[in-house]
Amino acid sequence: MLDEVYTAVATPNIALVKYWGKRNDELILPHNTSISITLDETFKTTTSVAFSGKLDRDIFFINGEEQNLDSHEVKERFKVVDEMRRMAGSAEHAVVYSVNSFPTAAGLASSASGISALVFATSKALGLDIGTSRLSIIARQGSGSACRSLMGGFVKWKKGEKDDGSDSYIEQIKGNGYWPDIVAFVAIVSEAKKKVSSRAGMKQTVETSKLYRERPNVAEEHAKELEKAIMEKDFPTLARITMEESNSMHAVMLDTFPPIIYLNDISKEIIHAVHELNSGGNIAAYTFDAGPNAVVVTTEKNKGDVYNALNSIGGIKDIVELKIGSGPRIADRQYEAEINAIIEKNR
């Protein structure tokens, strides 16, 4: 008999109010609330999962290649599978077959789309009937920022107050249809894997940066202001907070000892170009995560000017236009033949 395959599709999110620093490393509880937009399926992860009594170990493929289960990235993913297996009372091993439609580990949050697709598909495969806030608590323990990809539109990850993390989950501020005018350009500056992982980097920041002492208060204030700007569809304020947040996070990174520097000269040119575009009022905002690639947020009306400004910067490898996306979905069973072949080979 063939084992049932469940498939989920999920997309990255980009934080406008950033998460950088944990108050609990094990449960992945953040020092501050963060707010993101989930992106559309231009970049996506498609993950198929099957649980099988025929296997004596878990097997994980990314982009057609079998992964080492001892590697850090794979471990963090299987943490969420283990947790859900426990919840479902299942002892069966899993085959996970995951395909990314974009460069992995290039600061484009493939871990966010990967982990949220995995959590979504696994919950269906195990027949777990749990809501999104509970799913986000599980996803958060794989990778913090990943939990925000479990909903579409504008998403808030609440920092929570409790030691057990039960109040640190996501909520949708507004869905993807709310502000259709918003456009996000991803400017790909480098496809190289980041040198300092965000996990190690943020830990060092919390431990060594004196500037960081103020960072959670700044971010919390920004989260409140941004939520209000979203509710009022006030783009200039959204743009200002987005840029201030990116700058604030990269400031505490630089204040880390030894310093963590993700931005390069092209990133800095993008920053200057956006401020030039904004000389008559904010029409665009840049934001950078743990890498040199930029996401530049603007609106339909101004996207031509923003694209042209980015396009005139030498060294940008690609500019991809995206909209706000609707969040993860269950898809038809995909990679069924591949998964069954893997089970047959390993039984």
Residues forming contacts to ligand PMV in the complex (CB under 6 A) are 15, 18-20, 34, 111, 143-145, 198-199, 289-290
Distance of closest approach, residue 268 Cβ to ligand PMV, in angstroms: 18
Q: Which of 155, 164, 218 is nearest to 16 (CA)?
A: 155
Distance of closest approach, residue 18 Cβ to ligand PMV, in angstroms: 4
Distance of closest approach, residue 322 Cβ to ligand PMV, in angstroms: 16
Matching residue, tokens 């992945």 = 28
Distance of closest approach, residue 29 Cβ to ligand PMV, in angstroms: 12
Distance of closest approach, residue 42 Cβ to ligand PMV, in angstroms: 18
Contact 158, 19 (CB under 8 A): no
* Closer by beta carbon to ligand PMV, 20 or else 235: 20
Degrees, nearest 5: CA angle 40-133-127: 90
Q: Is 127 helix (H, G, I), strand (E, B) or coil?
A: coil
Distance of closest approach, residue 321 Cβ to ligand PMV, in angstroms: 21
* Closer by beta carbon to ligand PMV, 18 or else 303: 18
Distance of closest approach, residue 181 Cβ to ligand PMV, in angstroms: 23
* Closer by beta carbon to ligand PMV, 263 or else 277: 263
31 φ, ψ to 5°? -75, -20
d(CA 31, CA 12): 22
* Closer by beta carbon to ligand PMV, 196 or else 320: 196
* Closer by beta carbon to ligand PMV, 19 or else 97: 19
* Closer by beta carbon to ligand PMV, 320 or else 331: 320
Strands 93-100, 59-62: pairing kind? parallel
* Closer by beta carbon to ligand PMV, 145 or else 299: 145
Query: Would you report the helix, strand and coil content of the chain in percent, each value rounded to 5?
Result: 40, 20, 35
CB-side exposure of 6: number of CA atoms within 13 Å?
Answer: 19
Distance of closest approach, residue 246 Cβ to ligand PMV, in angstroms: 9
Report residue 114 CA to chain centroid gap: 9
* Closer by beta carbon to ligand PMV, 18 or else 215: 18
Residue 72 buriedness (CB in 10 A; 0-12 / 13-18 / 19+): exposed
Could you tell me the two tokens for 246?
A: 């990116």
Contact 267, 189 (CB under 8 A): yes
d(CA 286, CA 139): 27
